[in-house]
A = this chain, B = another copy of it.
Amino acid sequence: MIELTHDDIEAIEIGAAILGTGGGGNPYYGKLHTIAEMNKGGKIQLVSLHELDDDALVISVGNIGAPAVSMEKICEGNEIVRAIHALEDYMGKKVDAIIPVEIGGANGLRPAAIAAIMGLPLVDGDGMGRAFPEMQMTSFSIYGHSSVPSAMSDAHGNTVIFKDLKDEQWLERLARACVIQMGASAGMVEAPMKGSFVKKYAIPDTVTQAKNLGLAVINAHKENTNPIEEICHQENGQVLFEGKIVDLERKMSAGFTRGNLQIEGSGSYVDQVANIEIQNENLILKINQRVACSVPDLIIVLDIETGHAITTEVLRYGQKIAVLAIPCHPLLRSEQALKVIGPAAFGYQDIDYQPFNQN
The main secondary structure of chain A at its interface with chain B is mixed
**Chain A 177-193 near chain B by CB (<8 Å), digits 1 or 0:** 11011100000000000
Cross-chain contact of A157 among B86, B160, B166, B181 (Cβ < 8 A):
B166
**Chain A 140-176 near chain B by CB (<8 Å), digits 1 or 0:** 0000000000010100111111111110001001100
User: Smallest CB–CB gap between A64 and chain B, Å?
Assistant: 13
Contact between B164 and A173, CB atoms less than 8 A apart: no
Return chain B residues, CB-CB under 8 Å to A170: 156, 158
A interface size (C-beta, 8 A) = 24
For A162, give the chain B residue with the smallest CB separation. B160
User: Smallest CB–CB gap between A188 and chain B, Å?
Assistant: 14
The quantity of this chain's copies bound in the complex is 2
For A179, give the chain B residue with the smallest CB separation. B177
State A159–B170 Cα separation when bound (angstroms). 10
Report if A317 contacts B (CB, 8 A): no
Return chain B residues, CB-CB under 8 Å to A348: none
Report if A90 contacts B (CB, 8 A): yes
State A159–B173 Cα separation when bound (angstroms). 13
Return chain B residues, CB-CB under 8 Å to A162: 158-161
Return chain B residues, CB-CB under 8 Å to A180: 177
Listed A/B pairs (13) with beta-carbon separation below 8 Å: A86-B163, A90-B163, A151-B163, A156-B166, A157-B164, A157-B166, A158-B174, A159-B165, A160-B162, A161-B161, A174-B182, A177-B177, A177-B180
